[in-house]
Structure formats: C-alpha cells, structure tokens
Structure 1
Amino acid sequence: MNKIFVAMSALPLMLSMSLFNQAYAEAGGTVPPVAVDSDAATNTEPANGGVSRKMLGEVVVTSTTIDDRFDSKRGEPSNISNINGRRVDEEHGKNIVDVLESVPGVTAEVQSGDSVKIMLRGVEAQRYMGEKPGVAIVIDGVPVLERTGRVNIDLDNIESIKVIKGGASYLFGEDALSGAVIITTKRGAKMAGVTAAAEVGSFNYHKGLLRVGFAGNDLVGHIQKSKAMSDDYYDQGAWSRDYLDGKLQYLIDASSDVTFGFEHSKRSKDSHGTVRGVTNAAIDPTSATSGGKDYARKYDIDLNKANLSYANDFGDGANLLVNTYLFKDHTYGWQGPSGYLRDSAGTLLAVNDMSQLRDVYASGADTKQVQKGMKAEVRKGGEQTGMMAGLDMQRFEDRALTTNLVTYTSRNTPVGVTNPLNLQGTVTNNSLSTSDTRAMYGEFKWLLAEPLTATLNARYDNITAKYVSYIPLTATQISQGRVSSGEKTFRVWSERAGLNYALSVDRELYSNISTGFRVPTISQLYGGSITPTGTVLANPNLSPEKSWNYEIGMRAKSELFGVALDTDVAVFQLDRKNFILNTGGQYQTTPTAEGVEQYQNIGGVRNRGLEVGAKTDSLQAWSGDVAYTYLRAIFTRNDSYWMAMGSRSAPLPSVYYNNTGNTVPRTPQHKINLTTRYRATTAWTVTGEMNAQSGSYADEVNVVWVGGRTVYNLMANYEIKTEKGMKWSAFARIDNVFDRYYYTTIRGSSDSNGDGVYNAEDPSITVNAGRVWTAGLSLVF
C-alpha cells in the first residue's frame, strides 16, 4: 500500500509536467517559472532587522528552524500554514487553540487558560499523561519542551505562527513525528509607542496589558507586561498567569542585525475539573460534589526564556542566521490521588481512602528543567540550485525531586512486601536526566526543469541520554539488579524528498516523503531497574520510534464569484511502525507477577486523511475561511493490552484486549471550522465561527463512544484612529453561543470505579464551561 501511495504522489507531477509544458508551447507562451511570490524579484525592502527578503533568482531556500523572515510557501513541497500576528490579535482568544482552529489537521487539548497540548494529524492522540506531543514546538528558535508536554505562550506577544505538517525531524530533530509549530514573538519598529489594554469576562476573568516600545535609527525595542486571572468554571479551578517579555534589536548595518528577546512567566493552576463517568459529568459538571479528582493539582510554574540571534544578508542570495538560547522551567505540583492513609506504625486511619479526600495527594513533585543551545544556518541560492546548511547543538537537563506528602499504602490490605508503607517526608525520587544533542542538517533545491523543482533534506542527530539517581541503593536492591545510573547514545537520520510543480504563477502541485523520530525515554530504557520498587524490566536495546509521511497536495490563488481565494488541499498517509509500548498496554500492567512487563517496539498506527483550507481577503466587506479535515487513524498493531479491573482494595483479574484494527481514541473522522466576517465599515467587523466535529472513541479498546458536536462563536471588533494618531479598539466575544453541552476531554483506560465492568461510567471527563463571554478595550498612542 505504501508503494502505491508513493506512486500516486509522483504520478500527478509527471503528468502535469508533460501536459502543461505542451499547453504553454501551443499557446505560444513561455513555460512558467518556478512558483515564487509575485513581488519576489523586486522586493528588497529590509524585513525584520535589515535582512533583505530577496528571492534567490529562480530557486530560493525558505526552510529555517530559527526565524520567520523566510515566510513564503511558494515552491515548498510540504503542507504549510502561516498565520500573521494581526490575525492572532484580532481573535482575542483565551489560548492558541482559538487561533489554530483555522488550520486543517490541527487538534489540541486545552488544559486550562492558555496551557495547551498541540497535536497534528491525530498523532499521539492516544496518550494524555504529559508525554511529548509528537510535534516540535519552537518559539523564537527555542525548541520548547515543558514538563507537562504542553506549551504556554503569551498570545499578546505573537508576531507569526508557521505550521509544518508531516514528519519534520529533517529540520527540527527529535519528536517532530507529525510536524512543527514555529512561533515568532513580536519585534520591530511597529512596536513603537504605548499600548494599554484591559479585558473582563465570565467567571471573574480579568486581564491587563501595558506595552512600551521605541524605534531609533539603529535600535528598536519594546517591553510588555500582562497579567490575567480567573476563578474558572470548575470548582477549585482558579488560575492566574503573569508575563513580562520584550525584545531589543540593534541594526548593525543595512544588511545585518542582532536581536535579544526574553520572556518571564509565572503561572498557577489548581484543579482541571475532572469527574468520573458520564453520570457525574451530567449531575456535577464543575466537579464540586461528586468527588472527582485530577491526577495532579496545585501547579506552580515559573518559565524563563532568553535568546540572542544574529542575522546577516551577504547579498547575491546568501545569508547567515545564528541563534543561542536558554529556557528554564521550574514546576511544582501535587500528584497521586489514590491510596490509603496510615500512621507511622502502619495502622489505617479512621478516614483513609485518599480517592475520597479531595485535598489529599500522595506526593509533591518539584522539577527543574533547563534547555540551552545554539543553532546556525547559512543559505545560498542561484538560478538552478539553492542550499541551506545548519548546525544544532542543545543540552537538556531535568532535575526531579519527589517527596511523600502523607504516610500511605497503595492498598488497604496489610502492610508487607507487596504493599509497602510509604512514610511522609520520604524522598522517592531524587534524580537528574540529561540529553545532549549534536546535529547537522541541510536542504538542497534543484530546478530540474523550468516548472519543476526537487527538494532534498537530511538531518543527522547524535543524542546521548543520561540518568543518575542520588538515592543510595540498598544491598538487596543491588542484588536485584537495580542501578542508580544509565547512559545511551542514539544516532538517527531524518529525511525529506519532495517535488513542486508550478502549473502557473498562481497554482502549484507539491508532493513529499518525510520522516520524524523520537528516542526512547530513560524510564522506557531502564524500566523499574532505576526505581527502588519498580517491576518493569529494563530494555536498553530499544530503537528510536520513526514516522513516515507521504503527502500530495495543491495550493492555488484564484477567484470565486469575483472574490480572491487562497486554497490548499492535501492528501496524506502517516505510518508509525514499532513505536514503543509497555507489554501490558498503555497505562496498564500485565495481569500476573509471571507476566513480562517491559517497554518494547511493538506498536503500530496509520493515520490517513484529507485536509482542505480556503481563505479569502479579510479586508473585503464580506470574507470567509474554511478548514476541513478528514482523518482515519487506525492501530496497525496494538495486540498486548491488559485492562486493570476492580478496585485497589479488591482487584479483579485483568481483561485482555487485542486493539489491532481499532480506531485511535480522540480522533474524529470529520472536523470543520467555518469563519465568516462582515466588515460593515472600516471600523466595524462582525465575525461568526462554527467548529464542528464528528464523534470519536474515548479509549483504545473502542468501548466508550462520544458523539460529535457543533459549537458557534460570535465576535465584534471596533477600531478607530483619531486625528492625533491614537487608535482605540474594542471587542466583545461570545464562545459557545448556544451553550452546547459537550466534553472538552474524555479519557478511558481502566475500570476506575472498581465495579468489575469497563463502561461509560469509568472514563475521566472534563465538561466544557458552556457559554463564555469576553470583552476588552485597548488604546495605542
């Protein structure tokens, strides 16, 4: 099937090359040049700090992991979406999902506020416990990897968003299984002046912002402060976020600049409002009375980002970009909602079931992550070829300290070897994990014939992962084969091969095969051997996971009833073979002590789909956009899954499932976003939006089905400029206008209520907050 799909990808390009060359010859015209922006040949205006945005003759390399100053999609062999900062500002969204809904193929899980886990093309939808998302998230060249697997970004500080779909490790390295989201923060002379803004909304939502910027002959910069908070819809769900960010840019000369950017954010979040089962979701959607408990609570997060970049345009189509960065993430939170409270002698307390005690958790996790590195890229273009070469060096450190908050046991049976007593204050994890990456990557573009361009990419990663525990091992633990350190080096190649055929100046076909990869984690490699009581066997011979993306598409600029239309259509298949799973299954364990529990390369999944995007000019009186995704995600291998049954105090035999052929959970087959705008005057704009998706399963065993939903949003913007140059803006936004009841998230993996049957009363559910309003006012002078 893969061979057929590859052949299909190449066939339209070959047919197009012969037919359209013939058509142009018969018409007496010239064969169209490779597709570039219409103003490419003449646009030498300094863009973003003095670097000229000049197309490189016939062939230009726009790929970069550092910057957005090469933002054209023309000539690209992959599916790419660009969103500018003005669009982000006009959305007035609570989180980045409100913006990314307009991009086909994007799915995301909103945790709270603007904390979001972004996924592309349904990859990694089956996982939800803070794992990496399978998408490279890059902010100002910094490959952001937060402890929770989510991304937090100040929406008021976004200059542009670029979404690359398909395996993207050929540029971004590890975890770009399904693509990359590249975010560039605000910069430049347009930030000069003063901006003040305030917002209010449902659930006592308040937000304030102040930005001050300046622009001199060779120095521009700004600094921005914002703070937002809300009581939230959910009981114990209050959250807050505080940002301080800015950028300083020095123009060395007409062709080079150096830029320093920083961001500090302090965030807090309590409960996410989960409940157990559909009955509790119906009678207690805010999780106030049914005893629902999140796995983790009481998050306090400090994030610090800083980057320093240098750019130089040497002329004649050559330029250099260099970026250094530092990212720190300090997160503390409660975790472990279940167990049985005891005193130091091991006697059960009168009230002991932690699952029924909302404010009692087993442990507190204090983690400090540090990411630092350097990237450098040089590119050169010409009439027949273009190239880019890059160097990527990065170090990642994760310092973890976990301490018992209470004295407890996992079960209410007598204390013993299989049910040890965990004493309050005991440090259960004191470790350091590191990852050192040394990588080289490059791109080569070749004009094979006048309308046909080939693109080849390759990246080589050398990744060394290390682990050390600072908790001394006992003699017994040493005799059991437990270790306090481990080290493993992976050497991985990633590739992309693509073709782009310019049917005309405004239409082009593109096709590519690309790969993504992910290296095993320390816990997957060494299992329980690096923990005092773990039972998972080590497997240091694990191989990196790899994805293969096959894609063919067409992008065009045309007219429909006299309205300019920008369209992009893509068909894709994304295969992951031998991805890493526990032999017990996702979040499961084997049913008996004799069963082998180990992480192995035994998983497989195939995601196929169609993506259609169409946009019109938002400055017209009437305009609209559509983003449609058809997705079919199937497990091609998932035949080792044992579902835990019964309660902790009275466990029952686990039930075996063979999930091969099942649909990946939380992957609706159909998803559509429709947006329409009416610009009544130059000052007034009214926007209506519809988000609809079909139903999906809540679990890998495909037992609990959740129906589809359609949600409508409405927004009005008013903007006016005075004669003195002041700009007043106001907006009002209503999300979920018709107060549609639905689940924001639903996840099922075991018999959580302990009744011996897995059904709709077992999944963990977060109910949507319903109709929510926001309004704001801003002034720029």
Structure 2
Amino acid sequence: MTRRTTSLHIASGAVLAATLVPAQLAAQGAEDSLIPLGEITIIGSGIPTEVMDSASSVTIVNQEEISRVPPTSVAQVLQDVPGISVTESGIERIRIRGESSQRVAILLDGQHVSDHTTYGTPILISPTEIERIEIVRGPSSVISGNRAIGGVINIVTKRGADKPVELSGTAGYIGTNDGYRAAASIAGTVENFDYRLSFSRSDLGDRETPDGPLVPSGSEDRNILAFLGYRFGNHYVGFRAQDYDLSADVYTGDPDLVIDLPKRDLRKYSAFYEGENLTPWMSMLKIDAYTQTIDRKFRNDITFPTGPFSMNVLSTSDDEQTTSGLRATANLEFAPGHRSVIGFQLEDDSLQTDKSSTTSMIPPFGPPTVSTGYADASIRTASLFAQHEAIFGNVIGTLGFRYYSVESDLDSYIVNGAVLPGQSNSDDRFLGSAGLVYLLPNDAVLRANISQGYTYPSLSELYLTSAGGSGTVIGNPDLKPETATNYEIGLRIDRPGVVLDAALFYTRSRDYIATIATGTARTYTYQNVNRADSWGLEVAAEFDPGWLGGVRPYITLSNVTREFSYANGFTTRNSGVPEWSGTTGLRSDWAAGTVSGTWDLFVRAESEAAQQDEAGTIVEQTGGWGTLNLRGTLDLTENAVLSMELGNMFDKTYRSIDQIEGPGRYVSLFVTATF
C-alpha cells in the first residue's frame, strides 16, 4: 500500500467556517500539501511504524509544520492537535483528553522530564530548537512509562545540518504579550561528525486582552543547546547538553494573592548510541543515558480577612530535583512479517526541598508564626517492556506489556528543627496493550487499540507537607498509583484529495489522588478517592476539491465527555472540560510571480464548560467562544522566510475554563534566515 508523506496540522475549537481567498493566489502542488499520515513514529508502539498503520492515536508535527507557526512557544504549536489543550498558570503546560498536565508524560528526545508539583510538567525548551513533536493521545504507559494516563508528548530536538556550516537566525515580535523571541544557531556535518550549537531568548510582557493587560502575567526564558554526533559504519553516537532558564509571573486577578515563579531551570546532559542492522535479526539497538537537574523556586503571598483582622500567609519553596536515567531497546526481526521491540529502563529521581511559611496578622497581633521544613526524598524505577507486531495478510496485530518495580523513600525530613522518621512506598505491576489494524482497499485502514496508563504518586504527594493560603496539605506514604485503561477504534484515509484521521475512545481512570479534609481546620491530606470515565470523538480531515488557487478546507474536532466521581459518591459531567473544541478553516500554498508562501484562515472555538465540586456547587463556569485568525508565510528570499499570525481578529473577549483571559487582537511577526 502506497503512503504519501503527510503530517497532521491540527487545532482545538468547535467548528465554524471561514472563506476569504485573494484572487491573485495560484496553486502549488495541492496533493503534496495535504495533511501527512506517512510520517514514521516510534513513540506509539516502540517499533518504527507509519502513522497510517499505527493502532494508537498518534500525531506527528514535523519541521515543515512548525515553521509555518510563529515560534512564540512550544505549547502554542501543540494547541492545534485534537484532544490537546494548553493550560496557563504562569508557565504553559499540556492537557490531553481532559486529563490534567500532571498525568501527561513530557519527554525530551525520549527522556522523561519529571515533576513533583501538583501543577504538572512544563515544557522546558525553546520552540526554535525542535525538529519534530510526537504525540500519543490516551494512556500509553507500556511504551512510554510513568505519567502517561492522558498521553505522551515527545519533543525531538535538532541535530546537525546537511552541509559543513549552516547559520540560522530567528527574530520576531509576539503581540499577545508585547514581547519578543530571538534565536541563532550554527550547525553542520564535517566528514563523520555532525554538530549544532544554538541560543535562544524570549522576553514576554503582560498578557494584552480586550479588557486591558493582565498584571502581572509576563515570562522570560533563555536556552542554550549543544549537540555533537559521530557516525562510523552502521554505528552512531551522540552527546547533548542543555541549559534552560525560565521565570514567570502568575496572574491571579486578586491583588491580595501574589504567586511568583522566579526560577524553573533545567540543566541536562545526555548521551546515546544507535546501531543499525547489527545482525540479520536485529534492525536497531538504542542505548541512551541522561542526567538532569531542575531548580525551582516558588513564592505564594496571600492576605484574607479573619474576623476583625486580616491574616497574611507567605509561603516559599526552593527545590532541586535531580534525575538520572538509562534506557536500552532492541528492534528484532526473527521472521518475515514479525517485528519486536524489547527493552529496559532505569530511573533515579530525587528531590531536595526547603519550605517555609510565615503567618502574621494585620494589624500586627503578636509575633508572626514561622514554620520550616527540609526534605530529601527519592524514587527509583526499574521496568522491562516488550511489544510484538505480526502481519497476517491485511491485518497487523500488536501485543505489548511492561513490568514496573518502583520504590520511593523519604530519607530525611526536618520540620521546625525536629527530625522526623523516614517513610517509604513501593509498587510492582504489569501493564498491557493490544492493537489491531486492518488495511482496507484504496489507502484506508480500520484500527482498534486497548492500552493502559499509570501514574505513580509524586514525592510531594507521598511525603511532603505544603502550606499555602488555602491551608496545609500533608503527604500520604500509603498512596497507590493512579491507573487508566483506554479502548478506541479509528479510521484513517489517505487518498488523493482526501485525508482523514478519526477515532472514538473510552477511558476508565481510577484511584485519582485528591486532597481530603482531615478534620483539623484548614488541614488536608492526599488520598486515592476520585475516578473518571471519559469518552469522545477526535477528527482531523483535509480536502482538496480542486478549487481556484489550490484552496483546501480542513477541520479538526474534539468531543470529550468526562464523568468525574468524587470520594463522597457525587458524580458529575461538569468536570471542567469543554465538550467540544476544534478548528476549521481554509489554507493554501500560493505563488505570485517570483514570490510564494502559505496562508491559513481559520476559526478556533470551544463550547461552554463548568466545574462542580464534591458538594455539587458550580465553582467555575465559562461560556463558549470562537476566534477568527489568519496565519501565513512569505518566502522573502531563497534563504529567508517571514511567518505571521493575526489572532483574534475581532478582538473578542474570551476565556477557557481554569485559564487566564485570552489575548485580544494581536499580530506576531517572525523572520527566519538560514545560510
């Protein structure tokens, strides 16, 4: 079956139509421009497979698609993938199919970026350093490991270039925050060596909305990335080093509540080996190792009334998180029509944290109360995994499993000068997955998939005591992991003029960790008490009806119904997730004389959403919204490209649930030059 190279350009919002076609546009090979499904992915099954033939819900955002979007942030590149939403709490994070960002695995070059906060893992890399992004929607812990209940985001960074010296630079204005991003790199290949050295920086001001700026809501980041690779025969070794600094202000909308994130920095060093066709039955052997340190500082300052007085609580946390990991995989082909991957993974994740909380009365009434805490805790994970693929005529079947062995310890814990006893937690379990793909005539496939997800409790949830304005939360060393099982069926079509990727899914998630009142005023603890059932539909489609100028309509659509059950037995579908979201629009490649480029006119929209607490009270509610946007590129010269986005063209006021207000009308402009 012939596959064309295609890659999914997708979005999140409920579907509206838009038409506006400049008369001077001319067609440029429409068939080659339709959404690609022929990209090769490994993240879905561990075996190199075209997206078209994958049993999982996989999306690849390749370099060509990334280059069409002004590089404001990685999360903004991903917001147009079905099932994905971007959360903004000072730092952008990713949710998939309604699951919180702490249940989504974030990988850099296949290696986990771990996190022990309740906010979830942020994306700690500049968008200008990315070669491609691989996304798996739905539980995927058999291949991708821990924290993959919602899905997986694997960000693959750039390596060398196809000539001895390649210089590249990007600079632009970001209208959403009246800020900028600039980047420069030098890369190349000299004989058997390839290399890259890059630098990027951004400085974003406060979010500009139709109702005025959100003060404070700015951020800054700086990224240095170095890569060196060497190829000898069918062997390849490489080394990466990354130095990333990030700081952000969190907009709360309340002058009596201030949250600062002055530091969220990553230092990472990794090395890898890749061997191809080492034996007649081993097509690939990969070994990689890494060590990374994440420095995090957090400050929470809240004032609230208490009778005739006001109370101020100032909480700070200074964390250092160190992770080392080793992973080895082998792709095996012992017989025609049969492929396997086997592997093992080791990870040692430790956290050292200094916390303090100062409580004082306003006006002063006695001395302030100060509490301090120091903790040193760690998680050690060992796992074995395997996946086998068998082809029988037009049927491709996959079967996989993963065995986990996890141990965690609180090695040192000092509260207000008193040394407390250590604690521990462990877990062992098997996870499984199974997939089936049926190849239909005329470049179409039916697929079905069953997969499991797994999220081991964070060190904060297990052992630490955290104080803030809403109260004190105490860790629980008896927590169990959160788990999920996903069932889905899908259809893919990749024909001249039509590309379609659609899926129906149902996910059962159990043992969600939540904060539960202890009976002492303003004191809570973590417990495995909540659960959720989610089901829905995801569609990405593009058509080439042969219109003037090669104009192609497209649509991406997500439907998620999420039924959330609290510890007290109350069940609600108002779980803070919009039922419908997606994008629809028109796009085309164009040429006018010696000038060419692309344009994309689209509506991004979302339905209303509400969230109920365990008492059935609506704690937050937002209305549905839609924005009209225009995005495009212009080839200035053979070596320089201008990318532009005019967003929220009607300057509409809108907000997604649990998010800050969306930006007003804005323009973002970037120029990228490569020599």
Name the TM-score class by shorter chain: 0.7 to 0.9
Output the amino acid matched with 2:566: N
- Does the Cα contact within 8 Å between 1:639 and 1:660 map onto a contact in 2? no
Indicate the residue corresponding to 2:275 in structure 1.
Answer: 312
Confirm whether residue 629 of structure 1 aligns to residue 568 of structure 2.
no
Q: Distance in 1 between matches of 2:670 and 2:67?
A: 12
Instruction: Rate the CA distance shift 1:628–1:431 in 2: closer, same or farther, 3 A.
Output: same
1:614 corresponding residue in structure 2: 541
Q: Residue 99 of structure 2 aligns to which amino acid in structure 1?
A: V
Q: What amino acid maps onto 1:431 in structure 2?
A: A
Match of 1:217 among 179, 183, 191: 191
Is the CA contact (8 Å cut-off) linking 1:473 and 1:484 kept in structure 2? no
Residues 1:541 and 1:624: Cα distance change in structure 2 (over 3 Å): same
Match of 1:104, SS state, is coil
Give the TM-score taking structure 1 as reference length. 0.73
Corresponding position of 1:207: 181
| Secondary structure in structure 1 of the residue aligned to 2:298 | strand
Q: Name the aligned partner's letter for residue 544 of structure 1.
A: P
Cα offset, 1:572, TM superposition: 0.3
The structure richer in helix per residue is 1
Determine which of 338, 344, 347 is the counterpart of 1:394: 347
Distance 1:718 1:213 in 2: 24
From the superposition, tell whether residues 77 and 721 of structure 1 become closer, same or farther in structure 2 (CA, over 3 Å): same
Aligned position for 1:638:
566
Q: State the SS of the aligned residue for 1:628.
A: strand
**Against the structure 1 CA distance between its residues 771 and 674, is the aligned structure 2 distance closer, same or farther, given a 3 Å change threshold?**
same
Aligned counterpart, 1:580: 513
Cα 1:672–1:70, aligned 2, differ >3 Å: closer, same or farther? same
- Residues 182 and 292 (structure 1), Cα distance of their counterparts in 2 relative to 1, 3 Å cut: same
Partner of 2:111 in structure 1? 142
Work out which of the residue numbers 328, 333, 338 in structure 1 matches 2:293. 328
Bigger Rg, structure 1 or 2? 1
Q: Matches of 1:513 and 1:490 in 2, distance apart? A: 23
Residues 642-682 of structure 1, C-alpha deviation per residue, up to 9 Å, x if partnerless? xxxxxxxxxxxxxxxx63134211x1111111242232316
Partner of 1:778: 672
Query: What CA deviation, in whole Å up to 9, does each residue of 1:584-624 have, x standing for no partner?
Result: 3xxxx35x449996543321210000111114689983234
SS of the counterpart of 1:151?
coil
Q: Tell me how far apart the structure 2 counterparts of residues 616 and 156 of structure 1 sit (CA, whole Å).
A: 30
CA distance in 2, matches of 1:743, 1:268: 23
Q: Counterparts of 1:64-213 in structure 2 under 5 Å? A: 64=43, 70=48, 72-112=50-90, 115-124=91-100, 133-146=102-115, 147=117, 148-149=119-120, 150-190=122-162, 192-202=165-175, 203-213=177-187
Q: Distance in 1 between matches of 2:466 and 2:228?
A: 48
1:304-353 C-alpha deviation (Å, 9 max, x unpaired): 12221110112646210111112211111312423689xxxxxx9x9965
CA distance in 2, matches of 1:677, 1:530: 50
Secondary structure (helix, strand or coil) at the match of 1:170 reads: helix
* Matching residue of 2:394: 451
Tell whether 2:240 aligns with 1:261.
yes
Query: Offset of 1:36 from its aligned partner?
Result: 7.5
CA contact (8 A) 1:123 1:607 kept: no
The corresponding residue for 2:377 is: 433
Among 584, 587, 592, the residue aligned to 1:674: 584
Residues in 2 aligned to 1:537 and 1:329: alpha-carbon distance in whole angstroms = 23
Give me the whole-angstrom Cα distance separating, in 1, the residues matched to 2:475 and 2:168.
56
Q: Give the SS at the match of 2:511.
A: strand
Relative contact order, CA 8 A, sep 6+: which one is greater? 2
Q: Which residue of 2 aligns with 1:694?
A: 607
**Conservation of the 8 A alpha-carbon contact between 2:491 and 2:503:** yes
SS of 1:98's equivalent in the other structure is helix
Partner of 2:479: 542
Distance in 1 of aligned mates of 2:44 and 2:143:
7
Other-structure match for 2:251 = 273
Q: What is residue 379 of structure 1 aligned with on the other side?
A: 331
Tell me which residue corresponds to 1:246.
226
Query: What residue is the counterpart of 1:492 in the other structure?
Result: 429
The two structures, once aligned, show a CA RMSD in angstroms of 3.4
Aligned mates of 1:97, 1:771 — CA distance in 2: 19
Q: How many angstroms does 1:433 deviate by?
A: 1.8
Q: Does 1:293 align with 2:257?
A: yes
Change (3 A) 1:522 1:181: closer
SS of residue paired to 1:97: helix
Q: Structure 2, unaligned stretches of length 5 or more? A: 6-39, 208-213
In structure 2, C-alpha distance between the alignment counterparts of 1:521 and 1:578, rounded to whole Å: 14
Residue 71 of structure 1, CA deviation: 5.7
Q: Is the 8 A contact 1:274 1:292 kept in 2?
A: no
Q: Which AA in structure 1 matches 2:56?
A: S
Indicate if the aligned counterparts of 1:213 and 1:221 stay in contact, CA closer than 8 A: yes
Which amino acid in 1 is paired with 2:296?
Answer: T
Question: What letter corresponds to residue 445 of structure 1 in structure 2?
Answer: E
Name 1:762's counterpart in structure 2: none
**Counterpart position of 1:236:** 216
TM-score by length of 2: 0.84
Kindly state the Cα deviation for residue 634 of structure 1 after the two structures are TM-superposed.
0.6
Relative to structure 1, the CA distance from residue 352 to residue 292 in structure 2 (aligned partners, 3 Å threshold; closer, same or farther) is closer
Change (3 A) 1:745 1:774: same
Matched-pair contact (CA < 8 Å) for 1:209–1:227 = yes
Q: CA deviation at 1:118?
A: 0.9
State the percentage of identical aligned residues. Answer: 21
Aligned 8 A contact 2:423 2:477 in 1 = no
- What residue is the counterpart of 2:404 in the other structure? 461
